[in-house]
Amino acid sequence: MNKFLLALTFIFSISAAPSAKVFIISPKDGAEVSSPFEVVFGLQGMGIAPAGINFPNTGHHHLLIDLDKLPDLKSGIPADAQHLHFGKGQTQATIELDPGEHTLQLLLGDWMHVPHETPVVSGKINILVVD
C-alpha cells in the first residue's frame, strides 16, 4: 500500500510539474566567449521530447537570442535567427554570434512549439562574444 501511495504521489508531482525549471548551464552569466561556442541547456522537473511527440510533461528547448521581450506565450514560438528551436530534443547546441554583447534565454515549448500553460522560461543571461 505504501508503495502504491508513493507511486501515486510521484505521478502526481510529475504531472503537476509545479517546480519545473529551465536554465542555461553554460555559458555563465557575464561570460566572455569566442564564436562559435557551446550552449548547454538545463531542465528540472520535466522531460525532453522531440517536437511532434505529444507526451505529458515534456517539451523541447528554444533559445531566445537578444530578445527584449518574450514572444507571445499563447501561440507557437516563431522560428528565426532570434528564436532557435531544438525540436530533436537537443540539450546543447553550438551557436555562432557576432562579436559584442548578447543575451540568451531558454523557453520550453510543447510538442507543437507552444509554451506550456505555466510557461517554463529561464532567466536571461548576458554574454560578451569576443573575436
What residue ranges bind Cu ion (CB under 5 A)? 85, 87, 109, 113
Q: Which is nearer to Cu ion, 33 or 85 (CB)?
A: 85
User: How far apart, in whole angstroms, are the C-alpha atoms of residue 2 and residue 83?
Assistant: 46
The CB-of-20 to Cu ion minimum distance in angstroms stands at 17
Q: What is each CA distance from 47 to 7, 15, 75, in whole angstroms?
A: 18, 11, 21
In sequence order, what DSSP letters do the residues of 18-80 get, joined into one string? TT-EEEEEESPTT-EEESSEEEEEEEESSEE--TT---TTEEEEEEEES-SSPPPTTSPPP-B
The CB-of-52 to Cu ion minimum distance in angstroms stands at 10
The CB-of-121 to Cu ion minimum distance in angstroms stands at 14
Q: Which is nearer to Cu ion, 26 or 90 (CB)?
A: 90
User: How far apart, in whole angstroms, are the C-alpha atoms of residue 106 and residue 116?
Assistant: 13
Q: Which is nearer to Cu ion, 84 or 127 (CB)?
A: 84
